[in-house]
Amino acid sequence: MIEQEYISFETAKLAKEKGFNEPCKYFYEEVSGEVIKWEISDGLFPIKINEFLCPTQSLLARWLREKFNIQVTVYILKVDGFVYTIQKYYDDFYKLEEKKSEFNYDTYEDALKDGIIEALKYYI
């Protein structure tokens, strides 16, 4: 069975710092140095300083695309694995910047994860 890939706790902290606040199924809570992943019920939204939303990779990538015109794309190479590119657009048409991964990844999800982190750190 194929399952959704959720972002890590560290990425969730970074996303919160950059303003991510979209409805999610889960959130992380940090209590005394321990990280707990909770399911959000009844539409309640975590708001405490030690709580961080936990979206899927695809939701966070969509948020980057729709809110900041940042496209993270993963490509498969025939024999060498996967790479990502980050494209930052101005006015939806003009490509302002582009960055490519410095090495190849074994999985699509690993490449997307690092592409999202790179976009959050350097383009927002």
Q: What is the pLDDT of residues 64-122, one digit of tens each?
A: 999 999 999 999 987 789 999 999 887 656 666 778 888 899 999 999 999 999 999 98
What ranges make up the beta strands (E) of 1-124? 26-31, 34-39, 51-54, 70-77, 81-90, 94-100
Which has the higher per-residue pLDDT, 2 or 44? 2
Which has the higher per-residue pLDDT, 19 or 48? 19
What's the chain's average pLDDT? 90
What average pLDDT score do residues 13-32 get?
93
Apex 96 CA angle, 95 and 100, nearest 5: 85
Helix (H, G, I), strand (E, B) or coil at 97: strand
Q: What pLDDT does 44 receive?
A: 65
Rounded CA-CA distance 24/15 in Å is 13
- Answer yes or no: pTM beyond 0.85: yes
Closest Cα to residue 69, out of 41, 93, 104?
93
Selection from 5-14, 22-31, 45-54, 82-91 with the highest mean pLDDT: 5-14
